Structure 1
Amino acid sequence: MKPIRYTIVPKNPAAHLFEVTLTIEDPAPDGQCFMLPVWIPGSYMVREFARNIVTMRATNEAGRKVRISKTDKHTWQAAPVKGALTLRYEVYAWDLSVRAAHLDDTVGFFNGTSVFLAALGHEGAQHVVDIQRPDGHAYRHWRVATALAEARGTKRYGFGEYTASGYDELIDHPVTLGEFTLASFKAHGVPHDIVIAGRVVALDTERLSADLKKICEAQIALFEPRTKRAPMERYVFMTQAVSDGYGGLEHRASTALICNRTDLPVKGKTEMSEGYRTYLGLCSHEYFHTWNVKRIKPAAFAPYDLTREDYTSLLWLFEGFTSYYDDLMLVRSGLISVDEYFGLLGKTVGGVLRGAGRLKQSVAESSFDAWIKYYRQDENASNAIVSYYTKGSLVALAFDLAIRTETSGRKSLDDVMRLLWQRYGRDFYRGKPVGVGEDDVEALIAEATGVELGSLFADAVRGTRDLPLATLFEGLGVTLEGEPERGAKPSLGARLRGGAEASIAVVYEGGAAQKAGLSAGDALMALDGLRVTGANLDTLLARYQPGAKVEIHAFRRDELRVARLTLDAPEIARYKLTVTDKRPAPRALRERWLAA
């Protein structure tokens, strides 16, 4: 097949419009079909990217207009032509996230799934994209950041042609355009670039490079302890720094990130702020995906079906296990202390146990229903669903502790990840791709470690019982106990939205608010006759004891209601992990776990 050629140019940054030209030299004789994905891998929700295509026209190689019509919401078919067929279309790009496309006069960003139509039947052909600079003197300092391979004559970070072996590779390399801060380091010999777009002040790129290098080298060594060989030739951390934002999306040789600019390290300040630690954890999470989900994949994703929902019950493995390893790699890399790591674990445990949804939905069900539940959460989500991210991370923790205890530290979840890598991931892009079957994981764990998890696996993955974490931690000489917040106050059994108004965001199942008939959206006005605001509610509640009866006035829409509550006990905000057994055997297990 002949190459598929694209040109993309920020045609009108003020109007947030990219113009894309697609040329296919050997279109289907009965009329070439084109498709734009309806979702992007890594974000399991149908997003209908085709809705952002504003105009489209087709021409033959003589420049004459060719009829093109839609056959469904995301597919087009052109009339038969002799010779080459060219499509020219505009894409509206005003989604400042990691999932789609964004363009203004300060920065451009796009994922291929948002801007590049696939020429059906030609997905395996070479794809070449010419990325052009927007017109105007104001854009003379703009550069290009991407992990796509440069074509001959194109300089790295420069405008020009980039190539991919096929459509799947083309859409797996996001692109940032604009003026950005650039730093580089090598992890076990592989170049890694850090791209920070957005306004930042006194960014400490040396510290950021050194910290990310530690994380990357630890992860490379986890999967390839002998060769220390990374699965990519070059990697790009691509971050958009904003006033308020958080998120990441993995790709095979890069990641798109968004963070608060205040989370980034500042020159002259050496402390590990909570924001910076969170940012490093995000980088660690997305980098771990380079192995776990970008190459080790569920069978359902080998290959992806980007025309509809692509179901798997294994996201607890691919997102949950990744969520377990992201912070674990921070402590193993020496970037945070064991106490800090225990604090992060305790917060995760508290978050999972706070929601009644964990008792109703298994992580396997949560994975399968991600399309309609996890990515479309409402005010009742905590009462109805469980996160395959957070509970999935605790499932990984439980499996790791059980394996380490059963084998006296000789085997661990690390061995499971290495087996998955060797069998499914290492050669994924070199031959016929094979994914992990829906029912393969339990047997793979036993093969890698010699440990039959039995009822623990069944309860953790397909059941809804709470994980026996306290018992499992005992083998490592660690106690796990609930810990209310300092100065704990009685609870309403609800969470507020935040802001000046004391408006309810979530009502917890079985809590005081629900029993009294309060609902999400209700605006609290007074507690025992005293005015309530978002700022003073905690102070007012601190005057009462659990079990006290109070009267609350609240508006539901425009109707005033009176509710009489019996206050709940203080919420357990987090769980505290404490080393209580310092004997050699449990100490050795702890050290192998945290410093592997």
Structure 2
Amino acid sequence: MHYKIYSNDRPSHFINVECFITDLSTDTVELQLPAWRPGRYELQHFAKNIQQFEVFDEDGQKLSARKTTKDRWLVHTNGASTIVARYNYYANVINAGSSYVDEHTFYVNPVNLCIYAEGKIDEACTVELQLKANEKIAGITFINKLPEKGLHQLQFDDFYHLADSPFIVSATLKHDFYQIGKVKFHLWFEGNFQPDFKRIKADFKKFTKEQINLFGEFPEKEYHFLTWILPIPYYHGVEHRSSTMQVLGPDSQNFEELYIDLLGLASHELFHTWNICKIRPTELLPYDYTKENYFPTCFVAEGVTTYYGDLMLSRSKFFDETQYLKELEACFKRHFDNADRASQSLVESSWDLWLDGYTPSIPDRKVSVYHKGAIAAQILDLHIQKVSIHTRSLDDVMKLMWQQFGKPFKGYTTEDYQAICEEVANEKLDWYFDVCINGNSSLFDLLNRYLQLLNLEVIRNEEGIISLVKTTN
């Protein structure tokens, strides 16, 4: 498959797409636009943003193309071996998982707007872009410059690779990089923000080293941090195979507060390079873009990652003790203030992400796989440290998950995760999975029993307000 992605009228917010599909030998072919995107486990119905959709053969003759689902088209080829689908996509939302175009910025998340032909999802594909003389492209490693002025061709292993590779084209991109071993980490900024690259590179390098030291290696040859600073309040990031897209704001915010948000988001998303992009639940291998991909282990994918995102900033000394405890307290408050009496377990809420995981729930129904998941991860980490007399920790669990499932890239189950946890703890952990993962009882008292190991305590005052305090031995 080959794509041309451009905009005939950038101020209109419409992106034009031409998808060329070759080597067809059947009377019909089905074209699919993804119904969701990795990192956001809910149906997003991207097809609602398509205004016009037509398909032609190599002679320019229009072919019959009718919808069979909300985002799938059945095309009669009339014997053509090559067809081209031409359509436009309305891109007028800026967040870490969207696409957007205006006269200044051309931001594409391919999973939003690139169709694929059934049976060809595993084939290599290319994207052709026309850049203006002063524009740069951020987020893509595999680029061929063609002889025509400004023409760039992006190369991808398959559609899964393309769908997981957002990019930004703009004349105002700011760029620098740092390197660890042979891996180059690119820093890209768009928006009203003048980055202090010396400071940013030093701090990013510290937490990056901590994460690489945990797993022993980095999964990709290069990595791109794409950050867009908006004039409005925002905090959103999405992980990708070899990049992350981050949207933050407002640009008028106190710089140190914005900087803490930037580092916190970047550390979380980088950890995903191992934990979900590679260490992936079996239900998500491969991604099925046509429907929900239910899985019960988002408490591992997001909860463990949330726990480690801040922990890596503490270990790398970007967070001092006061700041790290502030971040822990914020996580505890978000769970205990909102979902301490929720009826669902972490497993049930992982499954129900596809139902209402990212919107407010009815009272006392669901828990956050991020916040309760992080609390469960911390309890497990402290338990392993306790029973091993500080010779092992959750680090060892994640190392084994990487070696047994991430590096060979084969899916894991809940049972696999429990088995590795028990191997590291050197004991059965049915109690932990019954209470913390499959149960719906409050973790308040259990968390406090383990926080005693750190001389910490979560308290709830007479008004019910949660706070984290230091205790004395």
Question: Does TM-score exceed 0.5, indicating one fold?
Answer: yes
Whole-Å separation in 2 of the counterparts to 1:342 and 1:34? 50
Larger mean CA deviation between 334-343 and 416-425 belongs to 334-343
Whole-Å separation in 1 of the counterparts to 2:66 and 2:265? 42
Whole-Å separation in 2 of the counterparts to 1:159 and 1:413? 48
Q: Name 2:215's counterpart in structure 1.
A: 223
Higher relative contact order (CA 8 A, sep 6+): 2
Q: Name 2:352's counterpart in structure 1.
A: 369
Shift of 1:450: 1.6
Indicate which of 64, 68, 71 corresponds to 1:71: 68
* Cα distance per residue 1:306-325 (max 9 Å; x no partner): 11111011001110000000
Shift of 1:447: 1.8
Indicate which of 168, 182, 202 corresponds to 1:176: 168
User: Are the equivalent residues in 1 in contact too, given 2:279–2:411 (CA < 8 A)?
Assistant: yes
Whole-Å separation in 2 of the counterparts to 1:250 and 1:335? 22
CA spacing shift, 1:114–1:47, aligned 2, 3 Å: same
Alignment of 1:318-397 (within 5 A): 318-356=301-339, 358-378=341-361, 380-381=362-363, 383-397=364-378
- Check if 1:442 corresponds to 2:418: yes
Tell me, what secondary structure is at the counterpart of 1:384?
Answer: coil
- Check if 1:17 corresponds to 2:14: yes
User: Are the equivalent residues in 2 in contact too, given 1:296–1:421 (CA < 8 A)?
Assistant: yes
CA spacing shift, 1:45–1:321, aligned 2, 3 Å: same
Whole-Å separation in 2 of the counterparts to 1:278 and 1:373? 26
The structure having more radius of gyration, on CA atoms, is 1
CA spacing shift, 1:154–1:398, aligned 2, 3 Å: farther
Structure 1 vs Structure 2: percent identity of aligned residues? 30
Shift of 1:263: 8.0
User: Are the equivalent residues in 2 in contact too, given 1:148–1:164 (CA < 8 A)?
Assistant: no
Alignment of 1:404-483 (within 5 A): 404-428=385-409, 434-467=410-443, 468-476=446-454, 478-482=455-459
User: Are the equivalent residues in 2 in contact too, given 1:107–1:177 (CA < 8 A)?
Assistant: yes
Alignment of 1:573-584 (within 5 A): 573-576=466-469, 578=470, 580-581=472-473
- Check if 1:41 corresponds to 2:24: no
Q: Name 2:117's counterpart in structure 1.
A: 119
User: Are the equivalent residues in 2 in contact too, given 1:67–1:78 (CA < 8 A)?
Assistant: yes
Whole-Å separation in 2 of the counterparts to 1:233 and 1:317? 25
User: Are the equivalent residues in 2 in contact too, given 1:23–1:84 (CA < 8 A)?
Assistant: yes
- Check if 1:290 corresponds to 2:273: yes
CA spacing shift, 1:322–1:370, aligned 2, 3 Å: same
Aligned residues between the structures: 467
Shift of 1:234: 0.6
Q: Could you tell me which amino acid in structure 2 is paired with residue 24 of structure 1?
A: I
* Cα distance per residue 1:491-549 (max 9 Å; x no partner): xxxxxxxxxxxxxxxxxxxxxxxxxxxxxxxxxxxxxxxxxxxxxxxxxxxxxxxxxxx
Shift of 1:86: 1.2
User: Are the equivalent residues in 2 in contact too, given 1:285–1:322 (CA < 8 A)?
Assistant: yes
- Check if 1:398 corresponds to 2:376: no
Normalising by structure 1, report the TM-score: 0.75
Tell me, what secondary structure is at the counterpart of 2:296?
Answer: coil
User: Are the equivalent residues in 1 in contact too, given 2:325–2:468 (CA < 8 A)?
Assistant: no
Q: Name 1:590's counterpart in structure 2.
A: none
Whole-Å separation in 2 of the counterparts to 1:43 and 1:348? 20
Q: Could you tell me which amino acid in structure 1 is paired with residue 402 of structure 2?
A: W
Whole-Å separation in 1 of the counterparts to 2:267 and 2:25? 44
Shift of 1:391: 0.5
Q: Name 1:239's counterpart in structure 2.
A: 227
- Check if 1:205 corresponds to 2:182: no
User: Are the equivalent residues in 1 in contact too, given 2:188–2:225 (CA < 8 A)?
Assistant: yes
Q: Could you tell me which amino acid in structure 1 is paired with residue 143 of structure 2?
A: E
Q: Name 1:146's counterpart in structure 2.
A: 139
CA RMSD of aligned residues (A): 2.0
Whole-Å separation in 1 of the counterparts to 2:248 and 2:224? 16
Whole-Å separation in 2 of the counterparts to 1:286 and 1:349? 20
Tell me, what secondary structure is at the counterpart of 1:354?
Answer: helix
Tell me, what secondary structure is at the counterpart of 2:283?
Answer: helix
Unaligned ranges ≥5, structure 2: none
CA spacing shift, 1:323–1:159, aligned 2, 3 Å: farther
Shift of 1:451: 3.4
Tell me, what secondary structure is at the counterpart of 1:54?
Answer: strand
CA spacing shift, 1:88–1:31, aligned 2, 3 Å: same
Larger mean CA deviation between 88-97 and 464-473 belongs to 464-473
CA spacing shift, 1:463–1:263, aligned 2, 3 Å: farther
Q: Could you tell me which amino acid in structure 2 is paired with residue 274 of structure 1?
A: E
Whole-Å separation in 1 of the counterparts to 2:292 and 2:108? 22
Q: Name 2:91's counterpart in structure 1.
A: 93
Whole-Å separation in 2 of the counterparts to 1:404 and 1:90? 55
Larger mean CA deviation between 438-447 and 245-254 belongs to 438-447
Unaligned ranges ≥5, structure 1: 134-138, 267-272, 429-433, 485-568, 582-596
Indicate which of 31, 48, 51 corresponds to 1:54: 51
Shift of 1:453: 2.3
* Cα distance per residue 1:414-438 (max 9 Å; x no partner): 000000000111132xxxxx21113
Q: Could you tell me which amino acid in structure 2 is paired with residue 462 of structure 1?
A: N
Whole-Å separation in 1 of the counterparts to 2:292 and 2:358? 13
Shift of 1:82: 2.5
Q: Could you tell me which amino acid in structure 2 is paired with residue 580 of structure 1?
A: T
User: Are the equivalent residues in 2 in contact too, given 1:358–1:385 (CA < 8 A)?
Assistant: no
* Cα distance per residue 1:122-181 (max 9 Å; x no partner): 111110111223xxxxx54222112341136599xx750011111111111001111211
